[in-house]
Structure 1
Amino acid sequence: MASSSAGKSTNLYNGVPTTRTSPLWADPLCGELQILLLKATGKNTLPSNPFVVSKTIQAVTDRDFKDARPQRDENNNLQYVIHIRNKEYVDALLGIKSLIDKTPVEITYHPTLNQRKCVVSCRDVIDMAEAVLLKELADQRVIAIKRISRMDPTKKELIPTPTLILTIRGTVIPEYINFGFIRAPTRNFYPNPMQCFGCYKFGHTSKKCRTKIQLCRNCGQPHPELGNEETAKNFICNAPAFCVNCSGNHPSTNRKCPAWVAENNITKVRVDQGISYKEAKQSYQTKVNGSSFASKVQERLNFIKSTGCNRCKCNCTQPNPTPIIQTVSTPIVNQPDTEYTISTSDSRN
């Protein structure tokens, strides 16, 4: 079951608010952020010439419009992700059927980036079916509903709860959802950490796992039985539990595992701040470690300043090492047999 926040929902994407950037009366065009997807239709591919795509988009928007980012799909086909706030431009882009070089294309709302999830609770609709609720909430941009259930300890069966996970079309989560005249506040939805069920590491799924080896979730070792779907269903591992993420004596899917807890907190940072997984992980690690890379650099500079030691990577604690005077008798050009000294900051005794 996915967890949810008790706090207010946030509307951020890459750390930037997705809501209207200015009041409607001041700027009727720059509204909510919309994310579109441009791709070729059928067996066609987009042209390698990037100017063909840019001129097509700028022809219906603005000559200075530049927020279209190329990317590759799972089949390595080129496509473009378009970020735009002007509703007139959105409507114009959705109507494009071909590029200026006649390549057939389609522009649609992005299937994943242009939708958000939130959590809402309303006891008055606990007995209503999800399909009925979806029809009633369609005018509030709700495109999918999932009711959270819980296990009844006495009857040993799932019972519905008043909590719903809503999928909203667009990048902005409404502050409230109206169930008739009942206004229910929304809050953030936090998905479970992404964990591979092949190698049981975090950050990717089994479909994109590079190891291609099915490990046991209990002991972390490969078993021949796990390579076959039929034998894997009834396989029970009796080996001692071992976690591949923290080396603890518990299964790799244990939710009390320190690695799982950390990944869950990183997910909350990612959702709350509307940033990427990489940025959220860096932010969380900085918070946990109590220092950032910049502070580490400053700490090193202070150490060099106080000790004068910049020649080694040791944790030297001897302040201001006494320089050693070495006497060298080496001839110098035009001054034969002249004795001179070299001063070093070597801390050898």
Structure 2
Amino acid sequence: MGVVRDIPTDWSLDEIIETLKVPSGIGKIIKARRINKKNMVNGSPEWQPTQSVILTFDGQVLPTRIYCCYTALKVEVYKYPTVQCFNCCRFSHTKMQCRSQPRCFKCSQNHSGDSCSVSEGDSYCIFCSGSHFSTYKKCPEFIRKTEIKCVMAEKNIPYEEAAKSFPASYKSYADISKSSPSPSYPYLNPS
């Protein structure tokens, strides 16, 4: 998938697919989706169309340029956004799709973050143990997930393969239980 900019906002998606021309031998455009911008008006969200469009092509090769009304337009690689759930704080799904128990994004305890009174200075990140909310965009784990998405898009590889380039900044419970005991806590032989 690629992103093309400077497409008139009054064009329908069908008009976009019909009007944009792909260089021969590359394939064709099979789907178009306009990127919308969220603006708050009187406390309620309004979505405004932008001049950017996400295009899906029917081949494995992304063209560098496509043509619109005798003008060459640059095609950029579409990078999927990093999505985080505000219910359980995990990545790759939203609160609407979540089936897990609530986990507070402020203090990491097992309750909803909406009802928590912990301030940002006293907060605890579930991923890096830092003193910020678990939804902080500059958290090392959020940055790692974003970099993985970029590598996935640029190299056209699956998540598991891209994640190998970015080791986790924290240890899971399984990783901790695999490691040998520390010298200050000697191993006890069960007898």
TM-score, scaled to structure 1: 0.38
Alpha-carbon contact 1:150-1:161 (below 8 Å) kept = no
Give the letter aligned to residue 258 of structure 1: P
Higher strand share: 1
- 1:222 is aligned to 2:110: yes
Q: Partner residue of 1:237?
A: 116
Deviations 1:53-83 (A, max 9, x none): xxxxxxxxxxxxxxxxxxxxxxxxxxxxxxx
- 1:255 is aligned to 2:137: yes
Identity of aligned residues (%): 28
C-alpha displacement of 1:203:
5.8
- Higher-Rg structure is 1
Which structure 1 residue ranges, 5 or more long, are not aligned? Answer: 1-116, 227-231, 289-313, 315-349
- 1:167 is aligned to 2:56: yes
With over 3 angstroms needed to count, the CA separation of the structure-2 counterparts of 1:138 and 1:196, relative to structure 1, is farther
How many aligned positions are there? 158
Q: Partner residue of 1:44?
A: none
Residues of 2 paired with 1:134 and 1:218: CA distance?
A: 45
Q: Partner residue of 2:3?
A: 119
Residues of 2 paired with 1:181 and 1:138: CA distance?
A: 9
After superposing on structure 2, the runs of 4+ consecutive aligned residues of structure 1 that deviate more than 6 Å are none
**Residue aligned with 2:150, SS:** helix
Q: Partner residue of 2:180?
A: none
Give the letter aligned to residue 245 of structure 1: F
Which structure 2 residue ranges, 5 or more long, are not aligned? Answer: 23-27, 170-182, 184-191
Give the letter aligned to residue 168 of structure 1: F
Give the letter aligned to residue 5 of structure 2: S
Among 66, 70, 81, the alignment partner of 1:192 is: 81
Residues of 2 paired with 1:236 and 1:131: CA distance?
A: 45
C-alpha displacement of 1:135:
4.7
Alpha-carbon contact 2:80-2:153 (below 8 Å) kept = no
Give the letter aligned to residue 15 of structure 2: V
Among 182, 194, 199, the alignment partner of 2:71 is: 182
Q: Partner residue of 2:30?
A: 142
With over 3 angstroms needed to count, the CA separation of the structure-2 counterparts of 1:238 and 1:142, relative to structure 1, is same
Alpha-carbon contact 1:118-1:186 (below 8 Å) kept = yes
**Residue aligned with 1:263, SS:** helix
Alpha-carbon contact 1:118-1:188 (below 8 Å) kept = yes
**Residue aligned with 1:259, SS:** helix
Alpha-carbon contact 1:269-1:280 (below 8 Å) kept = yes
Residues of 2 paired with 1:197 and 1:169: CA distance?
A: 35
